[in-house]
Amino acid sequence: MIRLRIVAIVMFAALFFLAALAPAAAQSYPTRVVHLIVPFPPGGPTDVVARILANSVSPILGQSIVVENRPGGAGGTVGGKIVATADPDGYTLLISQVGALTITPSLYKLDYDPLKDFAPVAIVVQSPQILTVNPAVPADSLAAFLAYARNNPGKVNFASAGIGTQPHLLGELLQIVGSVKLVHVPYRGSAPAITDLLAGQVQMMFDAPSVMLPHIEAGKLRALAVTSERRIAQIPTVPTVGEAGYPQLAATLWTGLLAPAGTPQPVIEKLNAAINDGLKTPEALDSLHKLGVASRAVTPQEFRTFMAAETHKWAQVVAKAGIKGE
Quote the pLDDT of residue 123: 98
Helix/strand/coil percentages in the chain, nearest 5 = 50, 20, 35
| Confidence check: pLDDT of 211 > 60 | yes
| DSSP tag of 248 | G
The pTM for the full model equals: 0.85
Q: Which domains does the chain have, with CATH numbers?
A: 33-127+253-321 (3.40.190.150), 130-249 (3.40.190.10)
| 12 three-state secondary structure | helix
Across the range 237-248, mean pLDDT stands at: 97
Task: Name the band, by pLDDT with cuts 50, 70 and 90, for residue 256.
Answer: very high
* Sheet with 34-38: strands ordered across: 65-69, 34-38, 92-97, 253-260, 118-127, 294-295
8 A C-beta contact, residue 292 and residue 228: no
Residue spans of alpha helices (H) in the chain: 2-28, 45-61, 77-84, 98, 104-107, 114-117, 142-151, 166-178, 190-199, 209-217, 265-278, 282-291, 300-321
Q: What letter represents residue 304's amino acid?
A: R
* Residues 6+ away with beta carbon under 8 Å from 89: 263, 267
Q: For residues 131 and 225, is the Cβ–Cβ distance under 8 A?
A: yes
299: left (phi over 0), alpha (psi -120 to 50) or beta: beta
Query: pLDDT digits over 275-287, tens only?
Result: 999 999 999 999 9
